[in-house]
Structure 1
Amino acid sequence: MIKVENLSKMYGGFKAVDDVSFECRPGTVTGFLGPNGAGKSTTMRILAGLTIATSGDAVVGGVHYRDIPNPGTQVGVLLDASAQHAGRTGREVLTLSAITMGLPLTRVDEMLKLVSLTPEESKRRVRNYSLGMRQRLGIANSLLGDPKILILDEPANGLDPAGIHWMRSLLREYANRGGTVLLSSHLLHEIEVIADEIIVIGHGKIVAQGTKAELLHTAGTFVKAGDHSALANALTSAGIATLPSGDGGLRSEATPEEVGRAAAAAGVALIELRPAEGAGLEEMFLELTGDTQREAQTIEGVTA
């Protein structure tokens, strides 16, 4: 289990992480989402013992990472696939890790096969690897010690669609065997597909967390009209608050009957009026982190 309690990190007068608390349970994949500078990577670095917290606590398996004997056999960490020694071959990277952890060298071949790095590719220098190959090598390194917990920061970067599907299947199987996964990603669709639980962070604070079903379920009403502005004005005049909801529609916590009456009273013809079925992850993300977005930022640009 991963447990973060009231975690804060100050850099001078800037608070990168602000009183963050969450848990990641065995058997689950937890998606960690947030725009640039939201505090995801800082939180993960604190969990991995690379950054010292200003206050609060962050433990993995009930202890601080720095206090775990032979930590690679308990916690697999991948924070930066490009941080691997560029002058070594992929096989050398894994071999040195296996020796450090006291593992049989047969694990090297097992991991290379698991991440689909061929014998020829394993003999190439890491400097000649594509980003996708470095990600595969980093994932292999994180799994080398057969850990119970994985902490992965943007592991899908550089992977092609087939690679993303492979990674998704790998992590799902790992969690199904009882492993704990904390996964950050800017690929929102992949998080929506694989995550059991989702944490959304903005300006260093948790703005939402819960199961995927809880966060993506939306009560209220979806409504759409040919004249979007007239609809928005009619609902506002009737005291009904709304939010943009994809496909040019609006979402409100009011009932369909209340929305329909307000539109009819203003003479606004509706194209669609129905109970909301639940927001998609992208819609939820933008709604929750709207005040943290850079001007004209696109969702593809949202990274740790």
Structure 2
Amino acid sequence: MPSMIEVAHLTRRYGRYVAVDDVSFRVEPGTVTGFLGPNGAGKSTCMRMITGLTPPTSGTATVLGRPYVALGNPGRHVGVLLDAAAQHAGRTGREILTLGAIMMGLDRHRVDEMLELVGLTGEESRRRLRNYSLGMRQRLGIAHALLGDPQVLILDEPANGLDPAGIRWMRSLLRGFADEGGTVLLSSHLLHEIEVVADDLVVIGRGRIVANGSKAQLMSAAGTTVRSADDARLATALEVGGFQAAPMNGGGIHTDAEPCVVGQLALQQQVALLELREAGTSGLEEMFLQLTAADAREGVAA
């Protein structure tokens, strides 16, 4: 079976500035892939190229084996949410979904099903979009993306504006969609927002892929977390031994050395260990921050 989404050497230049630089990755059927990177790393530009809204300078992107623009009635195959505010502010939520259903050739009952699915009440669905909160716009955007019963979802920062209960609901919804055979590409600049739900991770910084693999692979490569009675002395011993040793917020060290190696060095240096474990999720976060540190600022690229 071909990849649901395949990106090959995708590049977008604006004059001399390179917003997306030779990006390649695949999103397989039945998975949630987290597309991670700081604000301005190039995630949105890449997703706009995948969905045909921004032409690439070079490279290709296909969905279900074809360019998005070549899909007949694309909403029946691919659900897209790139900007929850990109709807007519004077229309009601129900009107927006009804127009979508008409354009896709769907039964009007699908509108009621989607409103119920995303938790928008009948009264809320009759409000003008200008009176929606950001969280309500996100729910409406997810309803529109799911309207055509697609095989693939492409969502850009869908948790923006959702409260903690809403974020949990969204994760459950997307996990269920993937478990039933659907495929999700989910962008975020926050690791914890999608770490729970993602199967695979693609990390981008300054327009380039800096890490790509299964969540399990990246977490296993995340190293070791250690806290000791003398972190500075232990860090020096690790560095002399050829290992990286980065101080962590709140104390402790993150290192690429195996836990057994850290323990041996601590014994040699007679440094008492207070905590020693494989880094897991915290190490994944440290790795993410290190990989994208040069791009961790606003306003570089969309």
Q: Deviations over 1:68-104 (max 9, x none)?
A: 1111111100000011110000011011111111111
Q: C-alpha deviations, 1:175-231, integer Å up to 9, x for none?
A: 111111000123422311100111100011111111111111137544322333333
Percent identity, aligned pairs only, is 63
Residue 278 of structure 1: aligned partner: 280
Amino acid at match of 1:52: P
Q: Which runs of 5+ in 2 are unaligned?
A: none
- 2:84 counterpart of 1:81: yes
Count, aligned residues: 298
| Contact 1:218–1:279 (Cα < 8 Å) also in 2 | no
Q: Is this contact kept in 1: 2:227–2:253, CA < 8 A?
A: yes
Paired with 1:257 and 1:120, the residues of 2 have a C-alpha distance of 60
In 2, the alpha carbon distance for the partners of 1:58 and 1:262 equals: 48
Q: CA deviation at 1:276?
A: 2.3
For 1:190-229, what aligned pairs fall within 5 Å after superposition? 190-218=193-221, 221-229=224-232
Matched, 1:116 2:105: no
Structure 2 vs 1, CA of residues 105 and 203 (structure 1 numbering), >3 Å: closer, same or farther?
A: same
Q: 1:39 aligns with which of 33, 37, 42?
A: 42
- 1:1-304 equivalences in 2 (<5 Å): 1-218=4-221, 221-245=224-248, 247-256=250-259, 258-264=261-267, 266=269, 269-272=271-274, 274=276, 276-280=278-282, 281-294=284-297
Distance in 2 (CA, whole Å) between partners of 1:221 and 1:4 is 33
Give the partner amino acid of 1:242.
Answer: A
User: Per-residue deviation at 1:155?
Assistant: 0.6
| Partner Cα distance (1:219, 1:163) in 2 | 29
Deviations 1:24-50 (A, max 9, x none): 111100000001221100010001110
**TM-score w.r.t. structure 1 length?**
0.90
Q: Provide the C-alpha distance between the structure 1 equivalents of 2:208 and 2:150, rounded to a whole number of angstroms.
A: 29
Give the match's secondary structure for 1:82.
coil
How many Å apart are 1:278 and its aligned residue? Answer: 2.6
* Contact 1:77-1:150 at 8 Å conserved across structures: yes
Indicate the RMSD between aligned Cα atoms, in angstroms: 2.3
Q: Distance in 2 between matches of 1:247 and 1:152?
A: 34
Whether the aligned pair in 1 keeps the contact of 2:93 and 2:140 (CA below 8 Å) is yes
Unaligned runs of 5+ in 1: none
Counterpart of 1:83 in 2: which secondary structure? coil
Q: Which stretch shows the higher mean deviation, 223-232 or 210-219?
A: 223-232
Given that 1:112 and 1:122 are in contact with CA atoms closer than 8 Å, whether structure 2 keeps it comes out as yes
Query: Which amino acid is 2:121 matched to?
Result: T
- Cα 1:189–1:240, aligned 2, differ >3 Å: closer, same or farther? closer
Change (3 A) 1:6 1:169: same
SS in structure 1 of the partner of residue 21 of structure 2: strand
Q: Cα offset for 1:161?
A: 1.3
**Alpha carbons of structure 1 residues 62 and 219: separation in structure 2 relative to 1, 3 Å:** closer
Partner AA of 1:107 in structure 2? R
In 2, the alpha carbon distance for the partners of 1:135 and 1:221 equals 37
Inter-partner Cα distance in structure 2 for 1:141 and 1:254: 47
Instruction: Give the direction of change, closer, same or farther, for the CA distance of 1:166–1:254 in structure 2 (3 Å limit).
Output: closer
Distance 1:265 1:165, change over 3 A: closer
* Cα distance between partner residues in 2 of 1:211 and 1:219: 12
Tell me which moved more, 47-56 or 157-166.
157-166
SS of residue in 2 equivalent to 1:152: strand
CA separation of 1:239 and 1:172: change in aligned 2, threshold 3 A:
closer
Structure 1 residue 257, shift from structure 2 partner: 5.3
Q: CA deviation at 1:274?
A: 3.6
